[in-house]
Amino acid sequence: MGRTRWVAGNWKMHGSRQANRALLDELVPGVSQLRGVECVVCVPFPYLGEVAGKLGGAPIAWGAQNVSEHAQGAYTGEVSAAMLAEFGCRYVIVGHSERRQLYGETDAQVAAKFAAVKAAGMTPILCVGETLQERDAGKTEEVVARQLGAVRFEEGVLAYEPVWAIGTGRNATPEQAQQVHAFLRRKVSPGTAIIYGGSVKPQNAGAIFAMPDVDGGLIGGASLVAKDFLDILKAAAK
């Protein structure tokens, strides 16, 4: 195939030591058989050390789901980019819709986190996307352009996650995903990976990944089920 695809699993606040080991025991042999796809798992902070030990030498990179914009200091409960890098993280999700909506992260804060990840030598996965209200108001391009424009974006992965297509019963068609990806493509440097994060499942992964400007997926719930995640990875590797 002509380009490397990216598939990142976002475990969110799920997992246990036993469940994580069982999941990775199934994933590693399956991913080892694939070519042309970069596989990443973004895990909760407490499991980073164990996942790093489990995946050492395996064809699966690991990352975090969030980071502090501060380098160090009196920020109880926060985790710095340097701490993540010390655990061998290669990727960090920044600006996820849940962080923006549930925890009030602003565009400026997301931009600062993006810069912190870059400064620590890791690759940020920047999430942008519109809500159902914004979609229905015809503001999709305005919203994603604002979120992207707030960040000094370079050498990162860009993830489009339509908030309206996550857990709402409304699904984005491959063509709808392509439309926004094509818009974003015009705003970033050539070669930037733009992945899709709107309820990707084994049943729809092939059709979504077939779109010319979709370079892979940011996978939520399906990344916790080894067979489903491997099926999605196989769709990306085709």
Question: What CA–CA distance (Å, rounded) separates 103 from 69?
Answer: 14
157: alpha, beta or left? (left if phi > 0; alpha if psi -120 to 50): beta
The catalytic site residues sit at 96, 161
DSSP track, the chain: --S-EEEEEE--S---HHHHHHHHHHHHHHHHT--SEEEEEEE-GGGHHHHHHHHTTSSEEEEES---SSSSSS-TT---HHHHHHTT--EEEES-HHHHHHS---HHHHHHHHHHHHHTT-EEEEEE---HHHHHTT-HHHHHHHHHHTS---S-EEEE--GGGSSSS----HHHHHHHHHHHHTTS-TT--EEE-SS--HHHHHHHHTSTT--EEEESGGGGSHHHHHHHHHHHH-
Look at the block and give the residue holding tokens 């392509």: 178
Question: What CA–CA distance (Å, rounded) separates 33 from 141?
Answer: 38
